[in-house]
Chain A
Amino acid sequence: MSHNKETLREIVIETAGVNPRKCMKCGKCSATCPAYDEMEYHPHQFVSMVEAGKIEELMNSKSIWMCLSCFACVERCPRGVEPASFIEAARLALIRQQGKNHLKAEDVPAKLNDKLPGQAIVSAFRKYSK
């Protein structure tokens, strides 16, 4: 099902529960983001993209899967804008569509290795599947 640009943006903002307009473009979230280098869109860009309504590009980007959801950006943002919530909302908007689960339960055992902490698996399921 395709959403037109307006309702998708509203859904993302509503699920994130934060007002993107509060962002004053200081870039502190990107400064603290440990996964900065692997992302083509950086945390401060998520916020301005959500505000501009460019949700499709965000959903098709690699960045939303690179986010470790360590919430450093949420902790450090002086205006309380919570960029991580926007990434999470974008992810949810994507994986909630039909058959878009990023992580299927059956291909987990293949990825397992002993160094992988249990918590990582749990958080992966939280992030990557409905």
Chain B
Amino acid sequence: MQRIGVFVCWCGSNIAGTVDVHKVAEALKSEPGVVIATQYQYMCSEAGQTLIKDAIRDHKLTGIVVCSCSPRMHEATFRKTAAAAGLNPYMVEIANIREQCSWIHKDMEVGTEKAIILGRAAIAKVHLNAPLVAGESPVVKRALVIGGGIAGIQTALDIADAGFPVDIVETKPTIGGKMAQIDKTFPTLDCAACILTPKMVDAAQHDKINIYAYSEVAEVKGFVGNFSVKIKQKARMVDPVKCTGCGLCVEKCPMKKVPNEFNLGMDKRSAIYIPFAQAVPKVATIDPTACLKMKTGKCGLCATVCEAGAIDYTQQDSFIEEKYGAIVVATGYNPINLDQFDEFAYNQSPDVVTSLEFERLTNAAGPTAGTLLRPSDGKHPHTLVFVQCVGSRCDGAEKGKSYCSKICCMYTAKHAMLCREKYPDTEVYVFYIDVRTPGKNFDEFYRRAVEEYGVKYIKGMVGKVAPQADGSLLVQASDLIEGEQLKIKADMVVLAAAIEPDQSARPLATMLTASMDTNDFFTEAHPKLRPVESPTAGVFLSGCCQGPKDIPETVSQASGAAAKVIGLLVKDSLTCNPCVAHSDELMCNGCSACEKVCPYGAITYQDKEFRMPDRTTAIRRVASVNPAVCQGCGACTVACPSGAMDLNGFSNSQIMAEVDAICK
């Protein structure tokens, strides 16, 4: 007969406040098999755990039930405690009488009665627990970083410096991400390219880092320590090994009217292109939708011009299958689409630009070679209006995003400051709701923009931007402090658009079974305590894929994610979850219903010889589960009609015992 110990935790007043812990302990003492039932203020504390260890030794307990907080909090703690006292860690059951009882019921009597029932259910379950031993599964000592922006590069560099090989997969022809498009960075105003390109070069030259540019993740299988990923390398029509990046083909290419994504379509590029000078890898790429040779078969000038003979029009998409121990998501962000915000006339006038477009306009490698000119007539803008919170802090249901995009106040202060510093003759207005500068030297930076450079910050929103016949823009806004309605004739309007995750994030999350919130940001394992890990073991989050953040925070999170990956890859093997399925061969029909529903392909079949009841032997086809691959979801146990397939830790009889205890 089992000898069970029940330990009811007060959790200070969290439980004891609305559940009579003494009454619960008393009631559970009379349950069958219970030899000791006590209670203590903090079961998870050192003293509490010693109380359990002593009870296990003194009463020679074979199973313990802790009535405390959610198993998701301290199941591991109490399992370690049991193991320390020599009891198999899987002979521990937790009754959740805090989050699911004391915290949600005000009435002491109701709370106590429910706590007793939950306690009884846990006791009924622990009676049927079997001692389990966690298996081991090897860790592949290689990491995959999805996304080649500053987040991906920083994570890859840190992991590679720890000596582990890393692959970076980037959808664009070059790594660098959004930071490569930015001109200066706040709060120190150093040039984005100057601090980014050395890191890109380090990543390219690092012997442990391998970059798959112009590629995307096609399929992910397996689980932590043992992912197998299929990477699709899109055809560049250029051999990356031979191409020296000299750019001759780009010059000679006759088709020059393709909108240049790098400059957000504000200028044109040729069909064969290198996104920007410091591109890594510095390899040309042919855009099949624009290239005359690909579309009509004529031309082929780039092939003739190329001394390295790197052009190959017949190149096809190729797939690479690779094994990884950990995967880091660094898919980054994009500004939102502004079609819904037609009050700002973004689609009606080229002089209404987003902040990212403004970055390109002020960037030396931009469409206007660094001089700020109006996209419509190329003239020098005299009056500029910056509009904050475009699409951010909305109600999020029909229009815009409900969250604050965090970085717009700072980069707008930077834009305003640079604009006033380079062109003192301009008048710069910034319409804001609140200026949010939560960082080191951030507020001082914003004050410099106001005090030193005379940027006119006006508290109130812009209601309407109306393009006028003379090409200027009539901005109608309200000044809440003066209580006036302003009508400003502006030459340019810059919208601080909200940012949202890259659209490759949602399909990637499904592939990785990582969960996402309603705005498609990856959900972290714990918002405060585990921000760089996904709840899915082995998947880590770096940068804006987890939420809006600026470059300093992105880099610190990237290194955080790298530290977590290194912590995983250092291990040679992982103890894998022992709560896996197992099949009772005598009852198995071999009908392969379970194999069809297993998401991990953990079930295989073999013909085995059995002594049948009438003393004959017969060959029967029976299922067998590979404990290293099985993750314990239980789909097979329900697909199996005869009940041969059962799950350790959540067996049919255990769950039915819990149901009985609850309904008694």
Residues of chain A touching chain B, judged by Cβ–Cβ distance below 8 Å, are: 22, 24-33, 36-37, 42, 44, 72, 75-76, 78-80
Can you list 22 residue pairs at the A/B interface with Cβ under 8 Å? A22-B395, A24-B393, A24-B433, A25-B480, A26-B433, A27-B459, A28-B461, A28-B462, A28-B478, A29-B463, A30-B463, A30-B480, A31-B460, A31-B463, A32-B464, A33-B485, A36-B478, A44-B480, A78-B394, A80-B395, A80-B397, A80-B398
B485 to chain A minimum Cβ distance, whole angstroms, is: 4
Taking CB atoms, residues of chain B closer than 8 Å to A30 are 460, 463, 478, 480, 485
Cβ < 8 Å to A, chain B residues 433-486: 433, 459-464, 476-480, 483, 485
Q: Which 8 A-B pairs have the closest CB atoms?
A: A31-B463, A32-B463, A28-B461, A27-B460, A30-B478, A31-B478, A78-B394, A27-B478
Beyond A24-B393, A33-B463, A75-B343, list 11 extra A-B contacts (CB 8 Å). Answer: A24-B433, A25-B480, A26-B460, A27-B460, A27-B477, A29-B463, A31-B464, A32-B343, A36-B478, A36-B485, A78-B400
Known: A30-B478, A78-B395. A37 touches B485 (CB 8 A): yes
Q: How far is the CA of A76 from the CA of B343 in the complex (A)?
A: 8
Least distance between A35 CB and chain B CB atoms (Å): 10
A26 close to B483 (CB less than 8 A): no
Taking CB atoms and an 8 Å cut-off, the chain B residues in 384-416 that contact chain A are 389, 393-395, 397-400
- Give the CA-CA distance A31 to B388 in the complex, in Å: 14
Query: Which residue on B lies nearest to A43, using beta carbons?
Result: B478
Contact status B476-A31, CB under 8 Å: yes
**In the bound complex, do residue B483 and residue A42 qualify as a contact, i.e. CB atoms below 8 Å apart?**
yes
In the complex where A31-B460, A31-B461 touch, is A79 in contact with B394 (Cβ < 8 A)?
A: yes
A22–B400 Cα distance when bound, in Å, is: 16
Q: How far is the CA of A22 from the CA of B393 in the complex (A)?
A: 11
A75 vs B461: C-alpha distance when bound (angstroms): 14
Report the separation of the CA atoms of residues A29 and B476 in the bound assembly, to the nearest whole angstrom.
11
Separation of A50 and B485 alpha carbons in the complex (Å): 21
Which A residues are CB-close (under 8 A) to B476?
Answer: 31-32
State A80–B398 Cα separation when bound (angstroms): 10
B-side contacts of A79, CB under 8 Å? 393-395
Contact residues in A for B464 (Cβ distance below 8 Å): 31-32, 76
Which chain B residue has the least Cβ–Cβ distance from A29? B463
Nearest CB of A to B452, in Å: 27
Which residue of A is nearest B343, CB measured? Answer: A76
- Which residues from chain B contact A26 at a C-beta distance below 8 Å? 389, 393, 433, 460-461
Cα–Cα, bound, A130→B89 (Å) = 75
Task: Please give, as numbers and ranges, the residues of chain B lying within 8 Å of A27 by CB-CB distance.
Answer: 433, 459-461, 477-480
Q: List, in ascending order, chain B residues with CB within 8 A of A32's CB.
A: 343, 463-464, 476
Chain B positions within 8 Å of A72 at CB level: 463
- Say yes or no: A31-B485 contact (C-beta < 8 A), given A24-B433, A25-B433, A36-B478: yes
Closest to B460 in A: A27
B477 and A31 form a contact (CB under 8 A): yes
**CA distance in complex: A112, B464 (Å):** 33
Nearest-CB distance from A36 to chain B (Å)? Answer: 4
Q: How far is the CB of A57 from chain B (nearest CB, A)?
A: 15
* A79 (CB) vs chain B CBs: closest residue: B395
Contacting A at CB under 8 A, from B365-385, are: none
Identify the closest chain A residue to B477 (Cβ). A31
Q: In the docked arrangement, what's the CA distance between A78 and B389, Å?
A: 10
The distance from the CB of A84 to the nearest CB of chain B, in whole angstroms, is: 14
- Cα of A117 to Cα of B461 in the assembled complex, Å: 33
**Which partner residue on chain A sits nearest B480 by CB separation?**
A27
Chain A residues with CB under 8 Å of B397's CB are 80
Residues of A within 8 A of B393 (CB): 24, 26, 78-79
Known: A24-B433, A31-B477. A78 touches B463 (CB 8 A): no
Contacts of A31 in B (CB 8 A): 460-464, 476-478, 485
Query: For residue A75, which residues in chain B have a CB less than 8 angstroms away from its CB?
Result: 343
When distances are taken between beta carbons in the complex, the residues of chain A under 8 Å from B399 are 78
| Complex Cα spacing A33 to B477, Å | 9
Q: How far is the CA of A26 from the CA of B477 in the complex (A)?
A: 10
Chain B residues, CB < 8 A from A44: 478, 480
On chain A, the residues within 8 Å of B400 by CB distance are 78
Q: Determine how close the nearest CB of chain B comes to the CB of A66; give it in whole angstroms.
A: 13
| Distance of A30 Cα from B479 Cα, bound (Å) | 9
Which B residue sits closest to A81, measured CB to CB? B395
In the bound complex, CA of A30 to CA of B476 (Å): 10
Contacts of B463 in A (CB 8 A): 28-33, 72, 76
Residues of A within 8 A of B395 (CB): 22, 78-80
CA distance A55 to B135 in the complex (A): 70
Write the chain A residue with the least CB distance to B464.
A32
Nearest chain A CB to B426 CB, angstrom units: 22
